[in-house]
Structure 1
């Protein structure tokens, strides 16, 4: 079974022109056309934390949002949301609180794909390296608590080095996929956006989605990886 996973920090749907344009973000998601998508900054930060992507826009796509929000108008938790193909069954979904000095969180879901169960998580980690370490430890602890399962963790890790700093917490037991430079979208130099997988997955290919639309829609470019269950 081969699946395409994608991670995209949508910057609250505000593009490089300063306009909030949810339709433009949806156009980028259609270009990427992944099976499972982790979004960061999908909700407004203040007030009711309303989603910046109207659910009516998602109704016309091949994806549905998973129930990870704690607030009725939110799409996710601290901006983290998960979209999955409509034929994928959700067995469990929950928001995770992470240790932090600023509002941060993660989201977790366990899915059934034709009888095969997998786990996916989306996260947006802290700017502080020490906090990033604590947050990755909290995510891995929750994975351990819920039991062994093919797992993929996606998101904006805010980490410059591929295998340095907080990324060392993953150790040798995880595949760290860094598709390429994705930030800032106008002239990408940083590889903050990553996809991390357990050894249950066979790596096929990965990349950064760079198009005219994605270069303007957010300050990050989406990253993706195709993985096959081993």
Structure 2
């Protein structure tokens, strides 16, 4: 069983608070992930300046970032971290999703000892129409040859199954459980998602709700146990 997570760290700020990215390091150390997707985890104006304490995270968790661009910790605010020793089969590459913000995704094929898997990490736009278009880009990337089991991790900014991104993704990935992660101080909305193709690879899904997580961002981390052999 592989533990994966996704977390929007809100540019190193809680819902109401100052810039304190070191709090994210404390929470990441709590998660115990083999694979972790982060959103809003890159400086927008100083992209060559790391936001997170990379060496501290590696020392405490064994997680290292998979870089799309040399010299940058993330790609369009996304970071994908994998356990040291993970075998990278392809990538990681950046996938441009368009939008005013602009948005992007990271795609890579990995083997963490459970078999090969394609991983897509994304943070989608605020408009439902734009999110549906971005979801179609993710599906096209997921279907690329070679065909592998796939995980889509990220903040999809989508709470309804019949609108926007989820109206596109659910027919391929199945209906995901509704796990509220936003806002962190009183979670009401399921904006963060772990989806799989084929459906049924996610054995368990839960929010990591701790005092430290509530202080570190306006989202709670979303964790999942994934069994790549399941159907």
Consecutive unaligned residues of structure 1, counting only runs of 5 or more, are none
Shift in Å, 1:32: 1.4
Shift in Å, 1:202: 3.1
Q: Deviations over 1:164-219 (max 9, x none)?
A: 33211124321343451111111111110011101265332110010010011001
Q: Deviations over 1:1-43 (max 9, x none)?
A: x111100000111124522222211111111111111000110
Q: Distance in 1 between matches of 2:113 and 2:208?
A: 28
Q: Distance in 1 between matches of 2:98 and 2:145?
A: 19
Q: Is residue 84 of structure 1 aligned with residue 61 of structure 2?
A: no
Q: Distance in 2 between matches of 1:117 and 1:12?
A: 31
Partner of 1:100: 99
CA RMSD of aligned residues (A): 1.8
Assess, with a 3 A threshold, how the Cα gap between structure 1 residues 171 and 24 changes in structure 2: closer, same or farther. closer
Q: What's the secondary structure of 1:213's corresponding residue?
A: helix
Q: Is residue 15 of structure 1 aligned with residue 14 of structure 2?
A: yes
**Pairs aligned (count):** 227
Q: Deviations over 1:86-143 (max 9, x none)?
A: 1211122111111212211000111123472111111000001111011111111122
Q: Distance in 1 between matches of 2:14 and 2:114?
A: 40
Partner of 2:123: 124
Assess, with a 3 A threshold, how the Cα gap between structure 1 residues 219 and 29 changes in structure 2: closer, same or farther. same
Consecutive unaligned residues of structure 2, counting only runs of 5 or more, are none
Assess, with a 3 A threshold, how the Cα gap between structure 1 residues 49 and 177 changes in structure 2: closer, same or farther. farther
Shift in Å, 1:162: 3.1
Q: Which has the larger displacement, 180-189 or 161-170?
A: 161-170
Q: Distance in 2 between matches of 1:115 and 1:30?
A: 22
- Counterparts of residues 1-230 of structure 1 (less than 5 Å): 2-48=1-47, 50-60=49-59, 61-68=61-68, 70=69, 72=71, 74-92=72-90, 93-114=92-113, 116-199=115-198, 201-229=200-228, 230=230
Alpha carbons 2:42, 2:50 under 8 Å: kept: yes
Alpha carbons 2:4, 2:225 under 8 Å: kept: yes
Alpha carbons 2:151, 2:197 under 8 Å: kept: yes
TM-score, length-scaled by structure 2: 0.91
Alpha carbons 1:24, 1:217 under 8 Å: kept: yes
